[in-house]
A and B are shown apart, each in its own frame.
Chain A
Amino acid sequence: MKKQIVIKCLKAGFVGLILLLLYAPILLLAVYSFLSTDLIGTAGSFSFEHYTKLFGDPVILGMIGNTLLLALVAATLSTILGTVGALGMYYCKKRIKTALHGISQIPVINAEIVTALALAITFVAVGIGKSYFTLIVGHMVICTPFVVLSVIPKLKQMDNSLYEAALDLGASPAKALFKVVLPQIIPGVISGFMLAITLSLDDYIVTVYTRPSGFETISTYVFNATMKGNAHTAETLSSFWALTTVIFVVIVLFVVISNLTGLRRKEAKNEK
């Protein structure tokens, strides 16, 4: 009996230790984001100065806005393209389906830098200058295959006869797709959209190779500020502490809320 308790403690201790290591850097920044110092390890008093700097700097606010807008546009377009594509692929002959699916996997398994370089060289070779178009296409290339991957399982679970029934009852194909097929695959579409948002928000490499000059996202801005440094480096770096903390809090809130609503949905299902 005693041995079992020891083993249990060891297991909990190991998982706890790894979690501690995982959260240590984030918590360190979170603590220092509320102190009036620009150097971690030095003393400071409680203050919101990093937050006022963060939200008062038009350059930083601009690049946050760029990141969010880009993610929203790229994810929306990817979701539409991927959902329609997955639907079409589902009804194709097996040969075409396998071929398309295989090609669609290339950006998923490929190293991001290879995808980015290939796109960048292709754009230059055919004479398309870097613009918002190339940037959005670049993000769509890495996001859309993941949307397809999330929609396909839902298509496989779908009841095929419902579409036929809708047509027999006089619905147009478009109406049948929107009113009968789409509701059945919508969970896959939503998780594909979420996945596309996170992929786009996280991206550094493809952005660097496809963006128009002067366009900065959180990833490129933070990378350049830490690597090259500028006149206000210490100040800029410490405003990233506040930014990291804000993003972390938003994510935790999102996770908690989505789990709570998810649980409620499950409970409602059980009551039925």
Chain B
Amino acid sequence: MKMPRFSRKTLCIPYAVFLLFFVVIPMFVILFYAFTDREMHFSFMNFVRFFSDPTKLSTIVYSLVIALITTVVCILVAYPVAYILARSKMKKKFVILMLFVTPMWINFVLRVNAIRELFNWIGILGEANYFNTVFGMVYDFLPFMILPLYTTLQKIDVSLYEASADLGGNAFTAFTRITLPLSMPGIISGVTMVFLPSMTNYVVSDMLGNSKVTIIGKFIYEYFGTDWHMGSMVALVLLIVVFVSSLLSGGFKSEENVRGANL
């Protein structure tokens, strides 16, 4: 009798169990709390209460606007940078790319604190809370936009531009018909990496917005101390937003690893 052969599939069991206990079950716990009241009875009241509160709704609008402006500014800054670097013939251009990523490895809170000190020195800390928050978010999330854009822009075949010029296209049509459509995956993956944190990362809005700027993530923090059902409801809404947007964008591509580890 031969021993049953060791199956390499079984190696995935520890990770599968880990995911079940610490990723899947917590998601169901949130789902459960979101649809129950304090007596643990099924209820839609969390949604009704939250979305019928005008102050909550106006905060959500502010939060969305902050996230939108942050994302647009990130694109406007990151696109030219990524484009210039991708098309540059410089031999050591990866050094410049590294310069953009290096600050990201300093501890996140220390980085925000550095901006806080800069604002304090200039004298705008506590004066322009919304501007300061958006500036801090752009500062912190910019590399997440530059890296995927650079990766997609670098892949564009140069002969496409030659073909466009041969066929009589000018620089503008080359950009709108070649560069922009082909860099769309980079834009999408950058947007997903910037938009969500700028709605939820309340470290930036607390430290730079002088605690006057409330974003959606801060709601979850506040509810965690008072009402888990409401907190879970807000978390569930964010979860659905993430799920839908990742379905639309076709998911996260591992080759566009945006954290810069592959550099």
Q: State A82–B121 Cα separation when bound (angstroms).
A: 45
A229 touches B (CB below 8 Å): no
Please judge, given known A-B contacts A15-B81, A114-B30, A244-B110, whether A28 and B10 are in contact too, CB under 8 Å: no
A46 touches B (CB below 8 Å): no
B158 touches A (CB below 8 Å): no
Q: State A112–B232 Cα separation when bound (angstroms).
A: 14
Q: State A29–B118 Cα separation when bound (angstroms).
A: 8
B29 in contact with A122 (CB, 8 Å): yes
A240 in contact with B113 (CB, 8 Å): yes
Residues on A with beta carbons closer than 8 Å to the beta carbon of B139? 21-22, 25
Could you say which of B84, B102, B252, B257 contacts A11, with CB atoms under 8 Å apart? Answer: B84
Q: Which of B30-74 contact A (CB under 8 A)?
A: 30, 33
B259 in contact with A146 (CB, 8 Å): yes
Residues on A with beta carbons closer than 8 Å to the beta carbon of B202? 113
B167 touches A (CB below 8 Å): no
Could you say which of B8, B22, B121, B261 contacts A91, with CB atoms under 8 Å apart? Answer: B8
Residues on B with beta carbons closer than 8 Å to the beta carbon of A84? 11-12, 14-15
Number of CB contacts from chain A to chain B under 8 A: 250
B157 touches A (CB below 8 Å): no
| Residue in chain A with minimal CB distance to B192 | A109
Could you say which of B5, B114, B224, B228 contacts A244, with CB atoms under 8 Å apart? Answer: B114
A259 touches B (CB below 8 Å): yes
Could you say which of B12, B84, B239 contacts A92, with CB atoms under 8 Å apart? Answer: B12
A227 touches B (CB below 8 Å): yes
A204 to chain B, nearest CB (A): 5
A interface residues, tally (CB under 8 Å): 92
Q: State A140–B18 Cα separation when bound (angstroms).
A: 10
B117 in contact with A173 (CB, 8 Å): no
B122 to chain A, nearest CB (A): 9
A251 in contact with B23 (CB, 8 Å): no
Please judge, given known A-B contacts A15-B85, A88-B12, A121-B29, whether A112 and B23 are in contact too, CB under 8 Å: no
Residues on A with beta carbons closer than 8 Å to the beta carbon of B231? 117, 121
Residues on B with beta carbons closer than 8 Å to the beta carbon of A82? 15
A15 in contact with B242 (CB, 8 Å): no
Please judge, given known A-B contacts A40-B117, A103-B19, A111-B197, whether A117 and B106 are in contact too, CB under 8 Å: no
| Residue in chain A with minimal CB distance to B200 | A111
B13 in contact with A40 (CB, 8 Å): no
Residues on A with beta carbons closer than 8 Å to the beta carbon of B19? 100, 103-104
Indicate the member of B105, B116, B200, B201 with the most A CB atoms within 10 Å.
B105
Q: State A201–B139 Cα separation when bound (angstroms).
A: 19
| Residue in chain A with minimal CB distance to B30 | A118
Could you say which of B14, B96, B262 contacts A85, with CB atoms under 8 Å apart? Answer: B14
Could you say which of B12, B85, B103, B120 contacts A26, with CB atoms under 8 Å apart? Answer: B103
Please judge, given known A-B contacts A28-B114, A251-B102, whether A121 and B30 are in contact too, CB under 8 Å: yes
A122 in contact with B118 (CB, 8 Å): no
B235 touches A (CB below 8 Å): yes
Please judge, given known A-B contacts A15-B81, A84-B14, whether A194 and B107 are in contact too, CB under 8 Å: no
CB pairs A–B below 8 angstroms (24 shown): A19-B99, A22-B103, A23-B103, A41-B121, A84-B14, A86-B15, A87-B11, A87-B12, A91-B7, A92-B9, A104-B23, A105-B251, A106-B27, A113-B200, A114-B239, A117-B235, A121-B231, A140-B18, A141-B23, A198-B261, A218-B109, A220-B109, A237-B113, A240-B110
Other 16 A-B pairs with CB < 8 A, given A14-B81, A104-B15, A247-B107: A19-B100, A25-B111, A28-B121, A85-B12, A87-B8, A91-B9, A96-B12, A112-B200, A112-B201, A113-B235, A115-B26, A149-B257, A173-B8, A222-B110, A244-B110, A251-B105
